[in-house]
Amino acid sequence: MKFKINYKILTPTLIFIILVLFFLILLKYPKAETKIYKNEEFSFHYPKEWQEISLGNLKKIDPELKVGFADSKGEGKFLLRIKEGVPKIQSFEEIEKELDKTMAKNLNSFKKISSEKIKIGGRESLDYNYTYKSKEEEIRQKMILVFGEEKIYYLIFHAPEENFEAYKEDFNLIISSLRI
């Protein structure tokens, strides 16, 4: 038995399938335009719409902050802090306990969400997630501590709790592109 191919039906069907696959790929892997921040110590990509926070404003918050960026609404923020002169880490458990104690003491309504050991650029790191209240607003932060030679790099990602998920892609861009 011979089958005849009906090209009038097959061609539009194939075109439709190809278009659907193309749009699904675009949705899954958006290619947001980025900028690159680079200095002599580290570099990373960040969303092009984000603006650098002035060093003067950063130093008012914490003298160890080296660079910071915020989205146009000022809700999503990324801050990079470097603590120098730190001895080699003894144990992640000790660091985590110290963070738990410090955060509970310094942040209003602090709640730890999670903590886990990860690697960033091949370096031992600690991913520490928590929420706290600031002026009656629930804030969520993801803080990644990347351990270097006698230094700790603190990558701090900040957004209102209800909008945190919307910034995950931007935060992951920074994390995945970081080079120390």
Question: What pLDDT does residue 23 have?
Answer: 57
Residue 119 has pLDDT above 80, yes or no: yes
State whether CATH 3.40.1000.10 applies to domain 33-177.
yes
Q: Is 169 exposed, middle or buried (0-12, 13-18, 19+ CB in 10 A)?
A: exposed
- Which among 105, 103, 180 is positioned nearest to 143, based on CA atoms? 103
Instruction: Give tens-digit pLDDT for 151-174.
Output: 889 999 999 999 999 999 999 999
Averaged pLDDT for residues 9-23 = 66
The ranges assigned to domains in the chain are 33-177
